[in-house]
Amino acid sequence: MKLDQTEMLRQMDPELREVYASLTPYRVESYDGLCAIRAAELMAARAERPARDGVRLEEKTIPGLGEGETVSVRVCRPETGPERLPVLVYFHGGGCIIGAAEQDDAACIDLARRERCVVVNVDYRLAPEFPVPAGQLDGCAAWRWLCAGGADELGVDLERSIFFGGSAGGNMVLGAALRLLDQGSRMPAALVPLYPMLDDRGNTRSLQDVVDDSLWGRDQNARAWEYYLHGLESGPCPEADAYAAPARREHFDGLPPVFTYVGALDLFRDETLELVRKLAADGVPTTFTLYPGCFHAFDLYVPDAQVSRRAREALHTYIQSVFQSVS
């Protein structure tokens, strides 16, 4: 069944309908249009400075992986005693083409306060200016910096560490983790890629069925993948590898435990389901929930809905289980 807006709203959780019906869709029709969206979103985020009560926020510049490269990270730390805290490496969403670490200050401050951990929010490079693998390598650089002494600088315990991100952030979580795994690097204790963007091929049933573009539609998803893989180059788009598009990877053995969820009305539903199937087949401990009647990133857009509260409480319980397992 094709899910246009009318059908989406009919099947949607009643608490989500009003917000969904009022959403302004992303229309990335040109590079200039993309730049305008970025500027508008950043301006809006800066106009709503989150309260930092009990949390200290600072920006750091750390070494990148390439010669002379650097990566900016925004570090949120609860104002506690001198004890070492768990660490959560955070990747924002935005289709790998939109967003900035600064725009997620509120989310990261809340995570630091709620989970009593240090959040390292990676301001990874975006396509099309920096196509794959730039953003994922920035994530790897943040982790390598932590392993090479950054953990001591921040006072964090890498035995209690999580890679965390939603949507495109989920792509960064898995892509960076797979690169580190294949290089034989130390791994975080767990991965949390929520409703992740994983498959460039656009042939899953959910991507074909969700024809409504009230939030993030098929055309915008295809344009984002084109920018992510090809940058601003002309000509045929190259095929993704299994880091850029983790859905193309067949085996995931060796990854740490994974927690994820997705809405049944999310265009990324089926690529998430396939990821969970592969993880289970390879023996990776996996915690997964499919939420009926929910659209993409429902918990961010309607955080007070009962279904969002359930999802976030399950997330909190999981994060605490990881952080307390070796405390």
Beta strands 55-63 and 70-78 are antiparallel
**Tens digit of each residue's pLDDT (9 = 90 or more) over 155-166:** 999 999 999 999
Tally the residues of the chain. Answer: 327
Q: What is the pLDDT of residue 214?
A: 86
Q: What is the pLDDT of residue 135?
A: 98
**Tens digit of each residue's pLDDT (9 = 90 or more) over 261-274:** 999 999 999 999 99
Q: What is the pLDDT of residue 52?
A: 83
Residues 47, 223, 266, 117: what is their CA dihedral angle, to the nearest 10 degrees?
Answer: -50
Compute the radius of gyration of the chain from its Cα atoms.
Answer: 19
End-to-end Cα, the chain, rounded Å: 48
Q: Specify the CATH class of 5-324 in words.
A: alpha beta
The structure tokens listed for 180 are 């580190």
Q: What is the pLDDT of residue 119?
A: 98
Q: Where are the domains of the chain?
A: 5-324
Rounded (5°) CA angle 283-286-292: 135
> Hunting for tokens 């991100």 — which residue is that?
165
How far apart, in Å, are the Cα atoms of 308 and each of 45, 46, 164, 301, 314?
22, 25, 17, 9, 10
The residue type at 134: A
Q: What is the pLDDT of residue 327?
A: 54
Q: What is the pLDDT of residue 80?
A: 79
Distance from C-alpha of 89 to C-alpha of 319, rounded to nearest angstrom: 12
- List, in sequence order, every residue forming a beta bridge with 61; answer none if it has no partner: 72
What residues in the chain have per-residue pLDDT under 70?
A: 81-82, 327
